[in-house]
Structure 1
Amino acid sequence: MSSPSTSFTSIPILDFSLTKSPTTKNAFLSQLRHSLINVGFLYLSNHTVSSAVIDSLLEYIPKLFALPQEAKDAITMANSEHFLGYSRLGKELTKGKVDRREQFDFATPHISRWKEGDPDHYRLWGPSQWPSEDLIPGFRSVFEQYLNQVQDLSDHFSSLIAESFGLDPEALDGFYDSPEKMQHRAKIVHYPVTHDGSDQGVGPHYDAGFLTFLLQASPHRGLQVQNLSGEWIDAPPIPGTFVVNIGKALEFVTSGLARATSHRVLSPTGTTPRYSVPFFQNIGLDVKLTERVLTFPPEILALSASRGRVGATDSVNFSEFDKEPSGKVNLIGRVKSHPDVAEIHYPELFKQIFPTGHSGGASAY
């Protein structure tokens, strides 16, 4: 168990504008290194994503969830072999409890490369389903602008992570496919106010990939991060920032230097719903993390050795990265989270994971 001196009690705020000058960049890299090793979460201010695009998106989000139910159901995720589309409230569970959220899954533009004979996980990436332009004009254009800009930010951020660990800026490039083959995912999430005593918006979990960039799209508290001692630390919305956190894949390839941190979302109290927009940066579908070994300077490795041991967390770990390509790991996660979709589009994998079928409840990571 970690000692109190090494267990964080707040989430650090990093000023991205420091990276623009050689005189301040090293200060940013030092702060980033601390955040990666000791916290696994950070706020990023003065980033490069357009505030005008973000403001436009924030105006659209309540309108998106106010669409007629039949319009939302028309793009239900069950239509999509790519697990993209709309999910009704309560369709997912974490650790056996219902996640109280309604959501749309979208992704950066992509044409599926899968062809007969290819592995199933190639089918995971493909085009999004979008609500009718007549019902919410301009939404798709604004959100695709947003996704493209966050994608560019995440690419730059990966190079800064490499530098902060004493590596060349390009050290992580080999974990990504060429740009035309990559796809990244995002959700737009609605957490309604609950009155039934349940406060689980999303239960304790880790993210799977390299990086998550979260836009907290309403002023509600709810996001909590589990520190090294197992305590839950609030990560309240800070206007103009992203919350950035580390996924299990990045923890794996950095030999635990960058730590994935358990987190959850509590349902909002009061009278208005909470909204959020997480962007999940993927890595290449065929990448096997055990086949790409990074070598770090001894002085960097020593920093994690002084961190202290991580206490017991409430989250489920990802156990497949040591034996399966990244795309297969993510596909397994999607099947477990959305078995109703998997039963339609991936019947063989569905039977492997749910040999006796499923009862309608899905166990999300």
Structure 2
Amino acid sequence: MTSAATTVSLPVLDLSRLAGSDSDAEAFRVDLREATHNYGFFYLTGHGVPAHLIERVMATSRAFFALPEADKMAIENLQSPHFRGYTRVGGELTKGVVDWREQIDIGPERDAVPRDASTPDFMRLEGPNQWPSALPELQEVMTQWRDELNSVALRLMQAWALSLGADEHIFDEAFADKPFTLIKIVRYPGKSDPEPQQGVGAHKDSGVLTLLFVEPGKDGLQVEKDGDWIDAPPLDGAFVVNIGELLEVATDGYLKATVHRVISPLIGEDRISIPFFFGPALDATIPLLELPDTLHAPGITVDPENPIFTTYGENALKSRLRAHPDVAAIHHSDL
């Protein structure tokens, strides 16, 4: 794979077309299917998330990273068996290599699940978040953000189902009760190396789909396509959407989870990025679709070092344990 990015652009899809005429809605679903078959990534406009909420989310995220170090470290993720809270720069790994970023991880606000011999290991991920007492508005604004993006993600899942010849609501049951979402508020600080370094290493997402909002004017995301890297700079007001490994499983590889990475900014710059990972309940099994004869599925990607499980919680736990071995050592040494 070459290191330089090509000039190919990702597709741009307008979600508001779903509310138009029948022909507009059908055309959107075809474009959605083809974009995620050919690229696994696209830009989403017309999503209906209010501009004032986007502005507030970005401002509050900036305010969090501007807090004194002691206020951020008060909610360090090492204190959470559920992998929630603040991770210092260099505190997360991708494929064993340090990512140059700081972040806060926010999941669904729930009680921890009591454990006994019959409780699956992945249920350890359920539990409360850690919120900074120095910035109480963070909880309110990120709860609104999660609700808005849940709605967008469900509309996309129903559109995908129809585009693949399935019932519109085939995915609903897996997401209806206790969907497991993850919001990461990420800051990539500038680095003084002569060449840009790894903000996030090359990887695939383990869930179903990701909605990513990036600070306007801040490049860094790259998507793998046919052995090359495609730059995916932020598009004003749009989300970058990509599918995860579970949607690849559901379609027997017709839709592909795509490798992507983030390049760190150089010294004097930084970048705020907010991915929203949409997943079903931890104990849910993703439905396997029977595709029309016109769609030829090649089978899922086989990687002995990265097995893909049909139960979402197994994928999520695998991802958390690998990314945060320090949290795993403190709270989950038996795993």
Q: TM-score, normalised by structure 2?
A: 0.91
The aligned counterpart of 2:294 is 299
The aligned counterpart of 1:139 is 138
Counterpart pick for 1:281 among 261, 278, 290: 278
The answer to whether residue 234 in structure 2 is matched with residue 233 in structure 1 is no
Q: CA deviation at 1:320?
A: 4.0
Counterpart pick for 2:307 among 319, 327, 345: 319
Q: CA deviation at 1:192?
A: 0.6
Return the letter of the residue paired with 2:199.
G
The answer to whether residue 299 in structure 2 is matched with residue 342 in structure 1 is no
Residue deviations 1:29-51, cap 9 Å, x none?
11101111111001000102221
Q: CA deviation at 1:293?
A: 3.0
Residue deviations 1:281-330, cap 9 Å, x none?
112222345xx4321111123xx56xxx99x9xx99631416xx321221
SS at match of 2:247: helix
Note closer, same or farther for the CA distance 1:35–1:317 as it changes in structure 2 (3 Å cut). Answer: farther
The aligned counterpart of 1:19 is 18
**Which is further off, 39-48 or 212-221?**
212-221
Counterpart pick for 1:214 among 208, 212, 223: 212
Q: Give distance in 1, aligned partners of 2:147 and 2:114.
A: 23
> Runs ≥4 in structure 1, deviation > 6 angstroms?
none
The aligned counterpart of 2:126 is 125
SS at match of 1:151: helix
**Which is further off, 28-37 or 264-273?**
264-273
Q: Give distance in 1, aligned partners of 2:276 and 2:237.
A: 16
Instruction: Please tell me whether the aligned partners of residues 218 and 276 of structure 1 are also in contact (alpha carbons under 8 angstroms).
Output: no
Return the letter of the residue paired with 1:252.
V
Q: Give distance in 1, aligned partners of 2:19 and 2:7.
A: 28
SS at match of 1:215: strand
The aligned counterpart of 2:72 is 72
SS at match of 1:157: helix
Instruction: Please tell me whether the aligned partners of residues 191 and 267 of structure 2 are also in contact (alpha carbons under 8 angstroms).
Output: no
Residue deviations 1:140-189, cap 9 Å, x none?
2111101111011111111111111121111222433x33x223111000
Q: Give distance in 2, aligned partners of 1:98 and 1:113.
A: 31
Gapped runs of 5+ residues in structure 1?
2-6, 350-365
Return the letter of the residue paired with 2:307.
S
Q: Give distance in 1, aligned partners of 2:211 and 2:64.
A: 21
Note closer, same or farther for the CA distance 1:318–1:288 as it changes in structure 2 (3 Å cut). Answer: farther
Note closer, same or farther for the CA distance 1:113–1:97 as it changes in structure 2 (3 Å cut). Answer: closer
Return the letter of the residue paired with 1:140.
Q
Note closer, same or farther for the CA distance 1:102–1:294 as it changes in structure 2 (3 Å cut). Answer: same
The aligned counterpart of 2:38 is 38
Instruction: Please tell me whether the aligned partners of residues 8 and 39 of structure 1 are also in contact (alpha carbons under 8 angstroms).
Output: no
The aligned counterpart of 2:165 is 166
The answer to whether residue 55 in structure 2 is matched with residue 55 in structure 1 is yes
Note closer, same or farther for the CA distance 1:183–1:293 as it changes in structure 2 (3 Å cut). Answer: closer
SS at match of 1:60: helix
Q: Give distance in 2, aligned partners of 1:318 and 1:281.
A: 20
The aligned counterpart of 1:254 is 251
Q: Give distance in 1, aligned partners of 2:164 and 2:105.
A: 33
Q: Give distance in 2, aligned partners of 1:317 and 1:61.
A: 34
Aligned pairs (5 A) from 1:83-94: 83-94=83-94
Q: Give distance in 1, aligned partners of 2:305 and 2:268.
A: 34
SS at match of 2:91: coil
CA RMSD of aligned residues (A): 2.4
Instruction: Please tell me whether the aligned partners of residues 180 and 282 of structure 2 are also in contact (alpha carbons under 8 angstroms).
Output: no
**Which is further off, 263-272 or 50-59?**
263-272
Instruction: Please tell me whether the aligned partners of residues 212 and 247 of structure 1 are also in contact (alpha carbons under 8 angstroms).
Output: yes
Q: Give distance in 2, aligned partners of 1:283 and 1:114.
A: 20
SS at match of 1:347: coil
Instruction: Please tell me whether the aligned partners of residues 13 and 42 of structure 1 are also in contact (alpha carbons under 8 angstroms).
Output: yes
- State the aligned residue count: 327
Q: CA deviation at 1:61?
A: 1.6
Q: CA deviation at 1:72?
A: 0.7
Return the letter of the residue paired with 1:147.
R
Note closer, same or farther for the CA distance 1:245–1:8 as it changes in structure 2 (3 Å cut). Answer: farther
Q: Give distance in 1, aligned partners of 2:202 and 2:71.
A: 31
Q: Give distance in 1, aligned partners of 2:243 and 2:305.
A: 13
Q: TM-score, normalised by structure 1?
A: 0.84
Residue deviations 1:242-279, cap 9 Å, x none?
00001011101110111111000001136221110000
Instruction: Please tell me whether the aligned partners of residues 206 and 316 of structure 1 are also in contact (alpha carbons under 8 angstroms).
Output: no
The aligned counterpart of 1:224 is 222
Q: Give distance in 1, aligned partners of 2:219 and 2:36.
A: 23
The aligned counterpart of 1:328 is 314
Gapped runs of 5+ residues in structure 2?
none
Q: Give distance in 1, aligned partners of 2:186 and 2:80.
A: 18
Note closer, same or farther for the CA distance 1:96–1:112 as it changes in structure 2 (3 Å cut). Answer: closer
